[in-house]
């Protein structure tokens, strides 16, 4: 076997294992849409808009993102925004992202809430000048 062919084989094996690794990592990402019945297509119960499956950040359930008012508003006004989800799972094991439904109406309601209730954060996010 020439050195060149050997090198090519080595590269192929490397590419294959990288691909497998990538698949494994993606497969590990928790799917929060599983077992939730939103119909087909999935519709937001607050805004009646079609939601898309998207990668969203997750934070530990004991982490308080913007205070208790935020948590209440998130539950009632924008349950499907792309803001971090509190999650019971072990973030050190499963990573900092999960798949979940995201509603464009929830994102807009979330932005409005931040502008009205957390102007400092809204400014930092570029929602207001
Ligand atoms: Zn919504």
Using a CB cutoff of 5 Å, list residues around ligand 1, an ion.
Answer: 44, 46-47, 80, 103, 105-106
Spell out the per-residue pLDDT of the chain, length 129, in tens: 555 655 666 656 666 565 555 544 555 788 988 877 667 889 999 999 999 999 999 998 777 788 889 989 999 999 999 999 888 888 888 889 999 999 999 999 999 999 999 999 999 999 998
Q: Quote the CA–CA distance of 123 and 128 in Å, as a whole number.
A: 5
Instruction: Give 9 Cα–ligand 1 centroid separation in angstroms.
Output: 50
Neighbouring residues of 117: CB distance < 8 A, sequence distance ≥ 6 = 69, 70, 73
CB burial of residue 103 (10 Å; 0-12, 13-18, 19+): buried
Q: Which residue ranges make up each domain of the chain?
A: 1-28, 31-124
Instruction: Give 113 Cα–ligand 1 centroid separation in angstroms.
Output: 13
Instruction: Give 105 Cα–ligand 1 centroid separation in angstroms.
Output: 4
Instruction: Give 129 Cα–ligand 1 centroid separation in angstroms.
Output: 25
């Amino acid at each position: 076997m020439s050195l060149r062919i050997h090198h090519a084989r080595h590269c192929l094996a490397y590419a294959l294992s990288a691909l497998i690794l990538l698949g494994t990592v993606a497969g590990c990402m928790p799917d929060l849409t599983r077992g939730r019945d939103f119909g087909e297509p999935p519709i937001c119960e607050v805004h009646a808009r079609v939601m898309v499956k998207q990668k969203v950040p997750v934070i530990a359930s004991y982490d308080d993102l913007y205070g208790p008012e935020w948590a209440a508003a998130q539950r009632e006004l924008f349950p499907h925004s792309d803001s971090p989800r509190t999650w019971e799972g072990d973030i050190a094991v499963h990573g900092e992202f999960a798949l979940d439904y995201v509603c464009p109406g929830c994102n807009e309601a979330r932005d409005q809430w931040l502008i009205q209730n957390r102007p400092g954060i809204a400014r930092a996010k570029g929602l207001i000048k």
